[in-house]
Amino acid sequence: MPAFGTGELAALSTAALWAVSCQIHAILSRRLGPHTLILLRLPICIVMFGAWWGASVLFFGGGVMVPGTSASAGADGPSPLALTALALSGVFGVALCDLLFYSGVVLVGARVALLVQSLSTVITAVLGYLFLGEAIGPMGIAGILIATGGVAWVVGDGGTVPEGAVPLSRAVRLRGVGLALASALALSGGMVLSKQGLAEGVDPLFAALLRMVVAMGVFWPTAMLTGRLRPALSVVRGDGQDRRNFRLLLMASLIGPVVGVWLSLVAIGATQTGIAATLIGLEPIFIIPVAALVERRWPTPRAIAGAGIAFAGTALLCLRNVL
């Protein structure tokens, strides 16, 4: 296999598309609010993923079961326990994670929030060690310490301003970082639960679709009870700026949650998982120039160096079973 091939290129493309999508969603979260953003994005992604999964079943014979996987799922498909784990991962890893993350983005910007959320790799490794019996090893421990140190160094940088030149107060910055860190915890919990479901051979496309459907099933009724649903739907029926925002949301949903997820699956299938995860983990690096161009404010050298250190630690953690 060549040193750099289809899998590696797909992983890098995933990181780049996710960075662009994240920045677009960050803009929309400030314009519309995190709740409205998620309320509108979920059904869009469900329609896109549903069409994608349906096409895979119709034309390529895909389905709930992945051909050639272990028979542990049984002849009747995945067990109720596996489906329950995937459903719960939708609650934590999609609905709660996105709400916390974009609430943090509004306060500290996409660049810092995304870097803090990248600690989900560290948290997932620790949860996997505690609950799934997965080994970490000396290299993994070193990666955890380096990644955490790099993120902490960036968080301590007072130059983290999402828009304009007005410095953020310490209280606002800490609240935004705390929300991003909470989103990393929710994302990690969702990933551990997803592993439980995918271990029985559930089709990753079906799993992604199920997680989004469950997230919408939780988020929309809650929004209806709290009076947030009607204002969100008014964006769809609106004109002018609302229409432009909705078109922007459609584009971001396509390039990130849909095309980006497809490329990540290509990457994982075409190269080693650790290498794919490492290259996809470049997303916080890719978003530095993207956010700088959009927000017209370059991060400080300390912030750039800290992001590089955090990526190096994440890379060690992801590659601990490869090198």
pLDDT tens digits for range 23-53: 999 999 999 999 999 999 999 999 988 888 8
Q: Give residue-wise pLDDT tens across range 243-286.
A: 899 999 999 999 987 888 888 878 877 888 788 889 999 999 99
Q: What angle do CA 16, 18, 20 make, to 5 degrees?
A: 70
Whole-angstrom distance, CA of residue 160 vs CA of residue 155: 8
Cβ-based neighbours of 105, under 8 Å, separated by 6 or more: 25, 26, 29, 30, 34, 113, 162, 176, 180
Contact 194, 108 (CB under 8 A): no
pLDDT value for 158: 58
Q: Is 71 contained in some domain?
A: no
Q: Is 108 contained in some domain?
A: yes
Q: Is 72 contained in some domain?
A: no
Residue 63 in this model has a pLDDT that exceeds 80: no
The percent of residues above 90 in pLDDT, for the chain, comes to 54
pLDDT value for 62: 56
pLDDT value for 165: 47
Q: What is the mean pLDDT of residues 184-190?
A: 94
Q: Is 193 contained in some domain?
A: yes
pLDDT value for 299: 84
Q: What is the mean pLDDT of residues 69-84?
A: 64
Residue 72 in this model has a pLDDT that exceeds 90: no
Q: Is 257 contained in some domain?
A: yes
Q: Is 169 helix (H, G, I), strand (E, B) or coil?
A: coil
Q: Is 69 contained in some domain?
A: no
Whole-angstrom distance, CA of residue 289 vs CA of residue 176: 21
CB-side neighbour CA atoms (13 Å) of 205: 23
pLDDT value for 216: 95
Look at 288 and 67; give whichever has higher pLDDT: 288
What's the structural domain count of the chain? 1
Q: Provide the pLDDT confidence category of residue 4 given band limits of 50, 70 and 90.
A: low
Whole-angstrom distance, CA of residue 33 vs CA of residue 107: 11
Q: Is 2 contained in some domain?
A: no
Cβ-based neighbours of 46, under 8 Å, separated by 6 or more: 209, 212, 213, 216
DSSP track, 80-143: HHHHHHHHHHHIIIIIIHHHHHHHHHHHH-HHHHHHHHTTHHHHHHHHHHHHS----HHHHHHH
Contact 40, 223 (CB under 8 A): no
Contact 199, 128 (CB under 8 A): no
pLDDT value for 202: 79
Q: Torsion over CA of 126, 132, 133 and 137, rounded to 10 degrees? A: -30
Q: Count H helices and E strands in the chain, helices first.
A: 15, 0
Cβ-based neighbours of 26, under 8 Å, separated by 6 or more: 102, 105, 109, 110, 113, 162, 291
Q: Is 70 contained in some domain?
A: no
- Mean predicted lDDT score pLDDT of the chain: 86
Residue 127 in this model has a pLDDT that exceeds 70: yes
pLDDT value for 225: 94
Q: Is the pTM of this model over 0.95?
A: no
- Please list the residues that pair with 240 across neighbouring strands: none
Q: What is the mean pLDDT of residues 1-6?
A: 59
pLDDT value for 152: 92
The two structure tokens encoding residue 42: 């979920």
Domain range enclosing 103: 7-64+77-318
Residue 206 in this model has a pLDDT that exceeds 90: no
The two structure tokens encoding residue 128: 């996997």
DSSP category for residue 66: P
Range with lowest mean pLDDT among 41-50, 75-84, 147-156, 246-255: 75-84
